Every structure is written in structure tokens, then in C-alpha cells.
Amino acid sequence: MTTRQGVVLASRTLAMLLTLWALTVVSELPGILYSFLRYNAGVASSQGEYLRQRYLIDLGLLITRIVGYSLTARWLFKAGPELEQLFFPETEAPAQT
């Protein structure tokens, strides 16, 4: 197996793992969305306001994770030369003195 094939294999394996993580996070989306909508239209108390803001933050972070995992998986799946350089950097020869 050449270095290039090893990089492609490793990066695509990581891409599949990140894709599975993104799908796992997507499965949490309905629960958080339901909770946010429930407290968005519900009680006007300070506790209701706190929970609405909390679920809004949770929803934002969840969407950020989904997008981040997906973009990273896409970048890893392409397995370009910059990825090969990341996994196997070329070492510089020591300077002659």
C-alpha cells in the first residue's frame, strides 16, 4: 500500500465516522426543536423565558455541530494533497553549518 492509498483509506474512514456522528446529532434535532417551540409559545414566566433561551442555544449549537461534522467529512472524503501533507509532512533536511 502506497502512502497515497493509506491517506485515502484513513481520511475516508474518518469521513465515514464524522458522517455517522452528524447523523446521530441530526437524530437529536426533533427533541430540541420540539422543546424550543413548546417554550417559545408557552409560559411568560421567568422560568419559561430561561428554558426558551436555553433551548435556542442548544438548537444553535446542534446545527453548528451538524454543519461542522458535514463539512469536515466532505473535506476528508476528497483526500487532496493538503491532507497527505497533514498526515505525512515532508521533513526538512537539517541545515548545513
43-97 pLDDT, tens digit each: 667 777 788 888 889 999 999 999 999 999 999 888 777 887 877 777 655 556 5
| 26 located within any domain | yes
pLDDT confidence band for 21 (50 / 70 / 90): very high
| 40 located within any domain | yes
- In the chain, the number of structural domains is 1
| 83 located within any domain | yes
pLDDT of 39 reads 74
| 8 located within any domain | yes
| 93 located within any domain | no
Q: What angle do CA 90, 96, 97 make, to 5 degrees?
A: 145
Q: Which domain holds residue 73?
A: 3-87
| 96 located within any domain | no
pLDDT of 89 reads 76
| 95 located within any domain | no
From the list 67, 71, 69, 72, the residue with the least C-alpha distance to 86 is 72
Q: What is the pTM of this model?
A: 0.74
| 46 located within any domain | yes
